[in-house]
Amino acid sequence: MQTNKLELAPPKESVIHSRFGFTAVIGVLLILVLFSVGAAVSFGQVEIPLTQSYRILLHQITGITIGDVQDLTSGSFVDIIWKIRFPRVLMAMFIGAGLTLCGTIMQAAVQNPLADPYILGISSGATLGATFAILIGFGSMGLLGQTGVAFWAFAGALGASLLVLVLAGVGGRMTSVKLVLAGMVINALCTAFANFIVYFANNAEGIKTVTFWSMGSLAASSWNKLPLIAVVVLLACFYFLLQSRVLNTMLLGDEAAVTLGIQLGLYRRLYMLVTALITGVMVASCGMIGFVGLIIPHLVRGLVGSDHRRLLPASVLFGALFLIWTDVIARTIVPSVELPIGIITALIGAPMFMYMLVKKGYAFGGK
């Protein structure tokens, strides 16, 4: 029988089968993330010995002194690591985890392997809101203060997600294909309106900021911006881990969910709202970073399977690890120049996405 949707079918089998094997994978990923956080601060335009980086971080975080205390409390290396690179690496870790979390949730919620905030237009909605805030000036108004851009980015992401849901539900039952097509339409509209604002804005500095920011960058990371991202991502991870049963049921389809007494439409809208919140905050902080939420869940799903009790923690850790080192590449691959991280994720993600399309045979319709 011919179908008219993309199926998000679980892999026939995962590489890791046993509980011990999964625990080992999580342990290895945790160790790699912790190691990478310490190692990534050594790389940049100013090279810092790895042992020195770990000694400085150990002293700044715990107060433990190894070697000369003067080298651990003052000097250019301390300023570079603690004030510039360490908050940036932590930001990359949380952004990578958040993007991967959103992609994993949306792929389950809309039962579509091509879903992520970028594809469904939520990132473009957040970009429109943030562009509006930066160029019109609402991002610095008194009541909202430093969270102004984040507020407008969230408003844009929420508006885009609601429009996608409304448009996909017009003319009958919502399907995964209609959600993807609606996301493409909203993506194009939000991008067009954002470009319209940029074209008519009389703010050269703001336009430069928006242009660089729209390609994705962690250059503006700071200790002041980190708490909001960390709290939002950690709370979202905890919430969705508690929703593993519902997410697993979503993979079975609407009919199975109804049989089990789960209001799939309600949960789908709730999950879209939460992912819009996460996406809005992340886009406001670092701009558009594509392909992370699309590619990483596929890689991890082949390793640990489609059970979200395993998939979510493994994906979040793998996404954090991936973006930490992607950011290292972005700031070191060209001497004396920092590339926007969105360029690097696109260069890595686009070929992988094409491979998935060819290998998996994802298509609209088919037998």
Q: State in words which class domain 19-360 has.
A: mainly alpha
What is the four-CA torsion angle of 154, 158, 160, 163, rounded to 10 degrees? -160
pLDDT given at position 143: 39
CB within 8 A of 123, min separation 6: which ones?
A: 117, 157, 279, 283, 288, 290
The C-alpha atoms of residue 264 and residue 34 are separated, in whole angstroms, by: 37
The tokens describing 138, both together, are 């609402």
pLDDT given at position 358: 76
CA-to-CA separations, 256 to 1, 14, 57, 65, 151, in angstroms, rounded: 19, 23, 51, 58, 37
Residue 175 DSSP code? -
Predicted confidence pLDDT, tens digits, the chain (367 residues): 444 444 454 444 456 667 788 889 999 999 999 999 989 999 988 888 888 888 888 888 887 877 776 667 777 888 899 889 999 999 999 999 999 999 999 888 877 777 787 777 888 888 888 888 888 765 444 434 445 777 888 888 888 888 888 888 787 677 777 877 888 899 899 989 988 888 887 777 777 777 777 788 888 888 998 998 999 999 999 999 999 988 988 888 777 777 877 777 788 888 888 888 888 888 878 888 888 988 899 889 888 888 899 999 999 999 999 999 999 999 999 888 888 898 899 898 888 878 877 776 554 443 3
